[in-house]
A and B are shown apart, each in its own frame.
Chain A
Amino acid sequence: QSALTQPASVSGSPGQSITISCTGTTNDVAGYNYVSWYQEHPGKAPKLILYDVSNRPSGVSDRFSGSKSGNTASLTISGLQAEDEADYHCSSYTSASTPGFVFGTGTKVTVL
């Protein structure tokens, strides 16, 4: 099962909006609305920030939003803040394996 494709890095200035893409196939992203996103600060455990494409867990800032079109899911961070500098990972349910988990390649977000 191949990993979902994410850009290696994305950067933006404070206050700007950035978008991270997560590209898969018909077996995963395109076929199901079970895309999730995780934020990982250095030395810390990953944290779930979006699930089922666009739902935020309790306590996650509404500056994080998600969407999906075809085989590409997207995470948008609005009003970029210094604390948003982290690695971001997408994941999707996949029918290509049991149980069906596949992660993305990961994206480093830099706040300029």
Chain B
Amino acid sequence: EVQLLESGGGLVQSGGSLRLSCAASGFTFRNYALRWVRQAPGKGLEWVSAISGSGTVTYYADSVRGRFIVFRDNPKNTLYLQMNSLRAEDTAVYYCTKGNEYYFDDWGQGTLVTVSS
């Protein structure tokens, strides 16, 4: 059974930083691209970032490019999202997801990030 467990969320001031982690199990971690998806309060889902299985290729949504960094530690089966220069609009539940090229078939339970202005 695939399990994705996010952690690291919390309350941070505008301009601050936070690092999210996603501990994975139940599949061969290095073989899969992973993504971060977020949901702001009362809003729809928004794709944030993606990383290849090797970690050498990364992608970012325009809204976070230059502020967020995605990386992974394959021996530790862990995905990370380093979030810098946080803004109020980054307030959301952040999900770690696994899937193929076209959809997301496994999700973590999410971790809440609240940015206070």
Contacts and interface: CB of A to CB of B under 8 A. Distances in A.
Given A6-B44, A36-B104, A38-B104, 11 more contacts: A3-B44, A34-B102, A38-B45, A44-B109, A46-B95, A46-B107, A89-B45, A99-B50, A99-B59, A101-B47, A103-B47
Interface of B: 35, 37, 43-47, 50, 59, 62, 95, 99, 101-105, 107-110
Secondary structure dominating the interface of B: strand
B115 to A, nearest CB: 21
Given A3-B44, A38-B45, A38-B104, A45 B50 contact: no
9 contacts: A46-B107, A48-B105, A51-B103, A89-B45, A99-B50, A99-B59, A103-B37, A103-B45, A106-B45
A24 interface: no
B45 A51 contact: no
B44 A89 contact: yes
Contacts of B59: 98-99
Nearest to B110: A45
A104 B44 contact: yes
Interface residues of A, number: 25
A65 interface: no
Nearest to B100: A51
Interface of A: 1, 3, 6, 34, 36, 38, 44-48, 51-52, 57, 89, 91, 93, 98-99, 101-106
B50 to A, nearest CB: 5
B9 to A, nearest CB: 14
Interface-centre pick from A101, A102, A103, A105 (highest chain B CB count, 10 A): A101
A50 B76 CA distance: 31
A51 B104 CA distance: 9
Contacts of A48: 99, 103-105
B95 to A, nearest CB: 6
B32 to A, nearest CB: 14
Contacts of B45: 38, 46, 89, 91, 103, 106
